Chain A
């Protein structure tokens, strides 16, 4: 069973005493799925999250999605929060409450992995995007972001989404590959997400529908392979 689906059914553990400093016990029906998608400006992080939101919305969930844009469009860090469930209040995911972290870039996944809840899953594109401050020698790129995340106890599914997109002949498909990888970690069937992806292309660029279907399935397979090895 996908990790999130299991969490949703099990419900969050209820504290024995009402404490002010933790999330209060909510009725099971109020459970919210929290997905954090991270990367850098220009990678399509916000679009991917929007497609996830559309899929959740089509299934009747209340949805909130937020990120800080603006300067992030200039190669800065982008973190896009998606929360869905019967009723969503605050749009932000608190540290330690993300069910799923989707990293479009390795170091960015490492930067944000503290937002995962215990037992949360990281899906990460192993591609590295090195900023000018690293090229200029001011900072080092982490030696092994995936290894570091595993050492911290997270379940990490790592694959080269950029390489998969390149093999399919269009680097911009990396976005759809990542969505494919997410598809089996959701509390709803993968086909609902695929439909949300393809719906965008049907109306805007119908010639890319088939290519995106292939990219989506390739992402699903890449994630499934990782699931077997971890």
Chain B
């Protein structure tokens, strides 16, 4: 993607929070920005990559992205990195020490919390990191706020030599709202200055930095009491006063337009005295925060009587329709008149795409018995769902490797004959899986690894990575050679196979054979993600209705283009009753991967005439 001319200053644009952050990072004169994709944070770097005059990269994981940004800051450049909430768990090892050195060029770290778990394995409140690392936390309430706080964040970062945490949530990242943008400032790199006492964190040096960190936090606490980022919006209705931050501020304003509200843009350190002043003016003071009771507990510890999670939920998103009834009930009012209830409609869980190469992998795994499958994070986590039910665990990025080894080493007598399989995608393997595989080979584990190389970070929209052979701009970049990589990690050459996941018999045979051998093995599948340019559709199929016997084997592939047209019951010669499912293929959606054809004994699936009209629904 070539850089485009950014919209001129003073333009009023409809921007998501992520786009607004990207614009402001560019305006702030940032010279280096790095990230690993992850919902809901991905679009920050994706958008930044289109701006001119700064270096952007997809890093292999969040820890590396933070280290890259920090190095750029040491060199005197303004720097930025972005990640989702669980990414900070990975990056925190760097964070917890670079807070001691502090920064040279301004450093803003955007952390996006997936409140409500739209696409995550857990829900976490990243504001904890501010307390843990003793760094300021900024919490925008909408896109304009996000834009403005990035600019303020760099000023803060440089005047206190502190990394600044910009805490976002899904309802900031993915809400589009109007933003008035500004012009780009230039900030030349001030240059790296050797200073071992500051930059080399050996125990003696680090110990001398800790008091400086606490002194910095004390000064930030003073600043919070006067910062214009913390705004008291007066109100006439003094039954309740509110202390709030992030998108919750908008929900409070909407639900209680007449109440006094203290909106904390700089939410850590907490401006305790400003809250105390508000507490004196209202009957009851309520803290509205997503998701943990952080402000609430700190205010209570400061001797201020506040309410919060005693009346409001601490799981999931807040909204006016959560706040209004909660406070009404608490005040002794009747609950709200119950509106029309949602209609009971079948669930529509996310599915793998039409012709996704993972379909072949999960169809095969679902046919194997006596295996335990340790899964990982990505599109292929969907293999846990219908119809495959082919994953037994998913924890965190790269965990499939270590968990598989632990399942192997910790197996009980009843599991003696179980074979352990780990499933991991290319990007996740490079993010945090390599170390786990090294642990398997080093410790002589008995694990068969399925490395699904589809050359993209599929789940977040097909971003490039070292397996795609392209950089963040789509320009050619060195492509990692997985076969050589896993061999270098200690897997014997004869235990490494590269298999086409569209060839079911080959895949089945490879898995059967490798799981029977008591040493580490890796089966690499090599078809590209259907959502990236490298994917080439082939001639589509249709079902010859007269030939379909209703066996339903093809339905087990799980391809969304295969539809059941009618069901029947039949009695086999053995007397056993079986369910029959007669099918058709949505030919305009089919891209001819051939997987279902291989499951069809009566050859009822045949090539259709090529069709040019795309389906309404893209694969997926």
Contacts and interface: CB of A to CB of B under 8 A. Distances in A.
Asked whether A and B interact, the reply is yes
B340 A65 contact: no
B324 A68 contact: no
A133 B349 contact: yes
Contact of A42 (B352, B386, B617): B617
Contact of B348 (A23, A77, A89, A96): A77
Contacts of B40: 69-70
Interface stretch (A6-14, A124-132, A187-195, A212-220): A124-132
A22 B558 CA distance: 45
A20 B334 CA distance: 10
B616 A162 contact: yes
Contacts of A40: 348, 617
Nearest to B562: A135
Contacts of A77: 348
Interface stretch (B49-57, B88-96, B171-179): B171-179
Nearest to B336: A21
Contacts of B562: 135
Given A110-B345, A132-B387, A24 B258 contact: yes
B177 A43 contact: no
Contacts of A76: 348-351
Nearest to A106: B345
A73 B620 contact: yes
B386 A90 contact: no
Given A113-B340, A174-B616, A135 B175 contact: no
A74 B350 contact: yes
Interface string B589-620: 00000000000000000000000011111111
A124 B80 CA distance: 44
B39 A70 contact: yes
Given A132-B387, A132-B558, A20 B324 contact: yes
A62 interface: yes
B435 interface: no
Interface in A19-57: 19-24, 26, 40-43, 50, 53-54, 57
B348 A131 contact: yes
A139 B336 contact: no
A67 B350 CA distance: 15
A141 B255 CA distance: 37
B511 to A, nearest CB: 23
Nearest to A96: B339
B333 A20 contact: yes
B350 A41 contact: yes
B560 A136 contact: no
B382 A74 contact: yes
Nearest to B346: A139
A134 interface: yes
B176 A66 contact: yes
Contact of A94 (B321, B350, B619): B321
A119 interface: no
Contact of A41 (B177, B559, B620): B620
Interface string B323-340: 011011101011110011
B177 A75 contact: no
Contacts of B350: 41, 71-76
B333 A21 contact: yes
A53 B176 contact: yes
Interface string B157-181: 0000000000000110011111000
A136 B387 contact: yes
What interface size band does chain B fall in?
A: 35 or more
A90 B319 contact: yes
A157 interface: no
B386 A138 contact: yes
Contacts of B412: none
Interface in A148-175: 148, 152, 162, 165-166, 169-172, 174
A68 B117 CA distance: 10
A142 B40 CA distance: 33
The residue in B256, B329, B350 that gathers the most chain A C-beta atoms within 10 A of its C-beta is B350
Nearest to B258: A24
A120 to B, nearest CB: 10
Interface residues of A, number: 73
B581 interface: yes
A68 B114 CA distance: 10
Contact of A137 (B251, B253, B382, B581): B581
Contacts of B583: 135
Contacts of B176: 50, 53, 63-66
Nearest to B347: A133
Contacts of A137: 564, 567, 579, 581
Contacts of B558: 132
Contact of A133 (B333, B386, B563): B386
A183 interface: no
B461 interface: yes
A131 B351 contact: yes
A142 B79 CA distance: 53
B343 to A, nearest CB: 5
Contacts of B618: 42
B443 interface: no
A215 B39 CA distance: 34
A113 B343 contact: yes
Given A62-B178, A91-B177, A130 B563 contact: yes
Contacts of A67: 174
Nearest to A78: B348
Given A92-B321, A133-B349, 13 more contacts: A23-B324, A57-B178, A63-B14, A65-B175, A68-B170, A74-B351, A75-B348, A75-B620, A76-B350, A89-B251, A110-B343, A132-B558, A133-B346
Interface of A: 18-24, 26, 40-43, 50, 53-54, 57, 62-77, 88-92, 94-96, 107-108, 110-114, 116, 127, 129-142, 148, 152, 162, 165-166, 169-172, 174
Interface of B: 14, 39-40, 114, 116, 118-119, 142, 170-171, 174-178, 237, 247, 250-251, 253-258, 319-321, 324-325, 327-329, 331, 333-336, 339-343, 345-353, 379, 382, 386-387, 459-461, 555, 558-560, 562-564, 567, 579, 581, 583, 588, 613-620
16 contacts: A18-B258, A42-B618, A53-B176, A68-B118, A76-B351, A77-B348, A89-B251, A90-B255, A94-B321, A95-B339, A131-B349, A133-B386, A135-B581, A139-B347, A140-B346, A169-B613
